Structure 1
């Protein structure tokens, strides 16, 4: 189902027992974050703070797989991955994104394209003399540089093409009408800023908060620069995103958003100091210089709810946003590298530090080919560690994957070390946004790769397991089922003698 407001999503959570309402006062400075952090780390409920000030605050909305799936209008986000695979198989263009752009032309999918409407709930109240200090903006960690908006949809537009981008960038409140915009080096909003700067023009920016949570997710999704996030949101929610023209900037904004902050960036003005900020890496990102937004208007619903999240040492709420991205973008990665069977980005790797990949290996050197291919693909270019396994390894079972990697790797033969772009938040990198990366070939080694005869994994026969599991359940009533690793027999080709690289 598509949600017409954030309150509609909260009502669903409330009915399912997934929401706790907090009526006693809790301070947006540190206290809300500490409570929400505990809820996220324990898989606890969503929280609605009803008395922080002018507006209620919703947190931990995406704090479990179940809630994240509901936020994306499905029972489980693997359903969206299946739908994307079906689209890849049926639409005629060669790339997924070409197909996504064709959605308005694909018959029944036409209703998913964004639709402009004349009015929306997000403009029920219009304040042209705004004061950001009236919003319950959180200070989440004790050494943060100030209060930060943490769950926004930041809307910008390419001045040349008019193509919209919606990104999720943290925003520091610097004063009653000023925000610092954390636009990282590799982000599309930064490219738009440079384009306006070259034209000598001020840059319009709109910041939407709330509305259907699918819109919030899409702001965080690593979509290519020319793919409209609200088109993707329409695909996920099965209904178009309605937009209205902003009251000050002329940018289209979600009609059902809870709040919209509008303003302009003076691209000729000096940058402002932003940060520090306790970030999703679990460490503080250091203060640095970024553009400033001069706010000229704030509009909102009469019943607006302010959404916020806490990022910090994992696990936190954003692990489920990352898991949804992992599952839904796997079909895209399989277009680039069809041999990929599965991927896993463990929460301990905070998205860009570690990616586990299983492949159907069919020739020597294939794991290293995949490593280099992924490092050349979109935001995967910033992945610091890539580990590639054979397809009999369940990369979602991280302990099993670690066992297999440590057993299978010869460090002189199987490591690929390279310099390249890394996430700007990687404090260990030798330079800003540039540093070393490592790829690990943890597959069975064929003889052309310097491998010897490779041993098999110890596995009980399935018929013995079935009989003994039944006996164990009788002997130990109430015992939990044993989750065994998925281990398949090795590919026949890995045992086949070879001469001159030709299978004999």
Structure 2
């Protein structure tokens, strides 16, 4: 059976089953007694940048009830493939291609099923019993403005007109026992919902879900089209309806097997300063700004609840960049095909650009302008328009997921005067450290981006100098014959 014929198999149904699978792989560690004030964040700085670093669960956090835990570093090592249901031997590019083939090309969303009860209702807290400071929400980075219970989280909201449900990943900072601020980014789906509620003078119902099936978080952190519910998408990935319960205050649905859920309302007249926070760009770019506050009316949690922590580290070294690179690359390839761009052979949204800022596209050129067509569209697609800065288009002899190969192609096949086009006033993110103070003052979240044609010019491709590297077939034979030399070196160093 070829890799393309292998069917995904998800061996877990919730976060606890996922942890058992990680333990089976030998990739789960437990740390007792680390503080939320500093040590959990420091541990994250150590293990997350290493691609093969383990998942770590923190228990017995000082000042918090025993059994209230934090889990970090889900999407790394063998866990990356396990989480999406594919074999351990798949490379990241093969994993992205498998995600494209099995979850996007064959996408069939399945509506969720509402149930009366679930593990998340094992503990129901209202009134004076509410105290979110009991959870071991860490201070992730040394200059953060507070404790962030929400990094591996998502907010459930409803469009008040069309009544569709959105689950989107927006960070959440603890303020006190009964309130957390939510950073709904301007123009994102939850913000559009918020604008609708506030424009009619209504409070906005929200359920913040912290911890649970990682697939919910991955879907919530990806550019699912407006009007499509992430719960339907995860149901399609699982091949069956996901089970949801309804909040007892707002009636909003959320996963029955969630670890923690905070239910309440946003009020247009209540804002508190949120941040600063170490952003996914690797900078404190967003500063501290007034943001909407979730007034918590009910807290639901499982026995011994688990916060899923996904702190951004920047520099392409965090798990958010890793999982989004796999998923966004597949989504961009799908969008280019849907836009009518033929023979896009490979796509990679690079981790070093947090999967948003630097994209490599490989094409098998068929006509003049083919590369430019692919590049301009890739800079503007739904999955990439937010925060993109560089799109590099190369020929199909380049592995675009290999940053060295991508830079080699750009260095040798691109003429800066004729091969680079600049697109202006494109949508970017408040987290972009290159936004000027003047732009921030008027909320001008736009940037420019470069589309770089690093292909051999189509008109004289046959005259372009040949490469001096062996063909893939010759390279394979060379490794079969002499690969033992590298293996001996690795063994000696080990």
Give the C-alpha shift of residue 240 in structure 1.
Answer: 1.9
Structure 2 matches for 1:122-201, cutoff 5 A? 122-129=120-127, 130-148=130-148, 149-201=150-202
**2:345 aligns to what SS in structure 1?**
strand
**1:26 aligns to what SS in structure 2?**
coil
8 Å CA contact 2:345, 2:396 repeated in 1: yes
Residues 470 and 213 of structure 1: is their aligned pair in 2 closer, same or farther, counting only changes over 3 Å?
Answer: closer
Match of 2:99 in 1: 80
Match of 1:459 in 2: 469
Match of 1:415 in 2: 420
8 Å CA contact 2:207, 2:262 repeated in 1: yes
- Equivalent of residue 346 in structure 2, options 342, 349, 366: 342
8 Å CA contact 1:153, 1:208 repeated in 2: yes
Give the C-alpha shift of residue 476 in structure 1.
Answer: 7.8
Give the C-alpha shift of residue 342 in structure 1.
Answer: 1.3
Residues 58 and 10 of structure 1: is their aligned pair in 2 closer, same or farther, counting only changes over 3 Å?
Answer: farther
8 Å CA contact 1:84, 1:328 repeated in 2: no
Matches of 2:83 and 2:471, distance apart in 1:
42
- Equivalent of residue 358 in structure 1, options 345, 358, 362: 362
8 Å CA contact 2:123, 2:302 repeated in 1: yes
Pairing 1:36–2:40 present: no
Residues 436 and 31 of structure 1: is their aligned pair in 2 closer, same or farther, counting only changes over 3 Å?
Answer: same
Matches of 2:255 and 2:422, distance apart in 1:
44
Match of 1:64 in 2: 76
Match of 1:254 in 2: 255
Residues 351 and 459 of structure 1: is their aligned pair in 2 closer, same or farther, counting only changes over 3 Å?
Answer: closer
Residues 305 and 436 of structure 1: is their aligned pair in 2 closer, same or farther, counting only changes over 3 Å?
Answer: same
Give the C-alpha shift of residue 125 in structure 1.
Answer: 0.9
Cα deviation digits, residues 226-264 of structure 1 (max 9, x gap): 111111111223332100110111101111101110010
8 Å CA contact 1:30, 1:140 repeated in 2: yes
Give the C-alpha shift of residue 473 in structure 1.
Answer: 5.3
Matches of 2:427 and 2:173, distance apart in 1:
26
Structure 2 matches for 1:437-452, cutoff 5 A? 437-447=449-459
**TM-score where L is the length of structure 2:** 0.86
CA root-mean-square deviation: 2.4
- Equivalent residue pairs, number: 456
**1:381 aligns to what SS in structure 2?**
coil
Larger displacement relative to structure 2 (69-78 or 177-186): 69-78
8 Å CA contact 1:167, 1:219 repeated in 2: yes
Match of 1:484 in 2: none
Match of 1:494 in 2: none
Residues 201 and 474 of structure 1: is their aligned pair in 2 closer, same or farther, counting only changes over 3 Å?
Answer: closer
Cα deviation digits, residues 318-353 of structure 1 (max 9, x gap): 132213313442334422233322111222111221
8 Å CA contact 1:73, 1:237 repeated in 2: no
Larger gyration radius, structure 1 or structure 2: 1
Matches of 1:477 and 1:126, distance apart in 2:
56
Match of 1:425 in 2: 431
8 Å CA contact 1:116, 1:243 repeated in 2: yes
Pairing 1:388–2:393 present: yes
Larger displacement relative to structure 2 (178-187 or 231-240): 231-240
Cα deviation digits, residues 118-144 of structure 1 (max 9, x gap): 111111111012111111111111111
Matches of 1:10 and 1:228, distance apart in 2:
26
Unaligned runs of 5+ in 2: 1-9
Residues 473 and 227 of structure 1: is their aligned pair in 2 closer, same or farther, counting only changes over 3 Å?
Answer: closer
Unaligned runs of 5+ in 1: 88-98, 104-111, 482-504
Match of 2:311 in 1: 310
Match of 2:23 in 1: 14
Cα deviation digits, residues 86-106 of structure 1 (max 9, x gap): 52xxxxxxxxxxx64xx4xxx
Cα deviation digits, residues 171-214 of structure 1 (max 9, x gap): 11122111111111131001000011112111000011222221
- Equivalent of residue 334 in structure 2, options 292, 311, 331: 331
**Stretches of 4+ moved more than 6 A in 1?**
461-464, 474-477
Give the C-alpha shift of residue 406 in structure 1.
Answer: 0.8
8 Å CA contact 2:349, 2:360 repeated in 1: yes
Pairing 1:273–2:273 present: yes
8 Å CA contact 1:4, 1:212 repeated in 2: yes
Give the C-alpha shift of residue 434 in structure 1.
Answer: 0.8
Match of 1:237 in 2: 238
Matches of 1:241 and 1:69, distance apart in 2:
21
Matches of 1:474 and 1:14, distance apart in 2:
32
Residues 438 and 261 of structure 1: is their aligned pair in 2 closer, same or farther, counting only changes over 3 Å?
Answer: same
